[in-house]
């Protein structure tokens, strides 16, 4: 049986606009307004990453998801809350290593390689009779799922862009996935 995994990127908030590492800042009503106008595809299971941004986006999309810890964002460790521009000025060698070496992790954080293994393990563990899974997941998790599903080299992780409030769909099962990326969510139908 084919499994369909639909990964919805959350609404964009101050953290994303400011290129800050993992602040877990709550979204504002203005951030969530676009999500409230959108419809999501039908699913047998609905999940969310545990971050406030993903949970709030799911709520704005009228979803009642279960938290899925495997869909947590890339852990920035000691870089949490710091802007990328500040770190690039203060620690240029560390930022260069983070962007080029999938095994590099910020102090106390997670490497891209570890994220790829975590998300790939979750995808591969989905039972064949799972049906349609809809998950609101951080952009890094969406990128990791695509890299794993298509057996891309880990360096491809940084070459994938995930726009807010888009859906990336994987269909198939472990070791054989097909991809449909970046589809916009459709407007809700008014009653």
| Average pLDDT value for residue range 92-96 | 93
Provide mean pLDDT across the span 124-138: 93
Q: What is residue 178's three-state secondary structure?
A: strand
Task: Check the CA dihedral 52-122-151-40 and report its sign.
Answer: negative
Q: What is the mean pLDDT of residues 44-48?
A: 97
Query: How much is the pLDDT for 24?
Result: 74
Number of domains in the chain: 1
Using CA atoms, how far apart are residues 46 and 51, in angstroms rounded to an integer? 15
| pLDDT confidence of residue 17 | 64
How much is the CA Rg of the chain, to the nearest whole Å?
16
Say whether pLDDT at 181 is over 80. Answer: no
Residue 37's domain is classified under what CATH number?
Answer: 3.40.50.1240
Report yes or no on 148 lying in a domain.
yes
> Does residue 180 register a pLDDT over 90?
no
Assigned domain for 87 exists? no
45 DSSP β-pair partners: 133
Using the predicted structure, report yes or no on whether residue 69 has a pLDDT greater than 80: yes
List pLDDT tens digits, range 140-164. Answer: 999 999 999 999 999 999 999 999 9
pLDDT at 82 over 70: yes
pLDDT above 80 (res 171) = yes
Local confidence band at 191 (pLDDT 50, 70, 90 cut-offs)? low
Instruction: Give a yes or no: residue 146 inside a domain.
Output: yes
119 is a domain residue = yes
**pLDDT of residue 173 exceeding 80:** no
Average pLDDT, the chain: 91
Predicted local distance difference test score (pLDDT) of residue 118? 98
Q: Is residue 60 part of a domain?
A: yes
Q: Which residues form the domain of 152? A: 3-75+111-187
Please report whether residue 43 resides in a domain: yes
User: Residue 84 falls within a domain, yes or no?
Assistant: no
Q: How far is CA 137 from CA 6, 86, 186, in A?
A: 10, 26, 18
Residue 138 three-state SS: coil
* For range 100-122, the mean pLDDT: 96
pLDDT, mean of residues 134-138: 97
Name the β-bridge partners of 3: 172
Q: Is residue 136 part of a domain?
A: yes
DSSP 8-state code for residue 83: B
List Cα–Cα distances, 106 to 23, 40, 62, 90, 147, in angstroms: 15, 35, 35, 14, 21
């Amino acid at each position: 049986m084919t499994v369909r995994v639909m990964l919805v990127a959350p609404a964009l908030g101050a953290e994303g606009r400011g290129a800050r590492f993992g602040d877990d800042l709550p979204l504002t009503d203005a951030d969530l307004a676009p999500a409230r106008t959108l419809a999501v595809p039908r699913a047998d299971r609905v999940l969310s990453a545990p971050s406030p941004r993903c949970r709030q986006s799911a709520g704005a999309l009228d979803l009642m998801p279960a938290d899925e810890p495997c869909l947590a964002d890339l852990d920035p460790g000691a870089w949490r809350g710091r802007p990328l521009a500040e770190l690039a000025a203060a620690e240029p060698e560390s930022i260069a290593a983070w962007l080029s070496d999938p095994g590099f992790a910020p102090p106390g954080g997670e490497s891209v390689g570890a994220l790829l293994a975590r998300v790939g393990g979750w995808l591969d563990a989905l039972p064949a009779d799972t049906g349609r899974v809809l998950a609101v997941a951080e952009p890094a998790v969406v990128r990791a799922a695509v890299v794993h599903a298509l057996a891309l080299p880990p360096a491809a992780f940084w070459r994938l862009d995930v726009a807010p409030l888009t859906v990336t769909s994987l269909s198939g099962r472990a070791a054989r996935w097909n991809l449909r990326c970046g589809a916009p969510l459709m407007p809700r139908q008014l009653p």
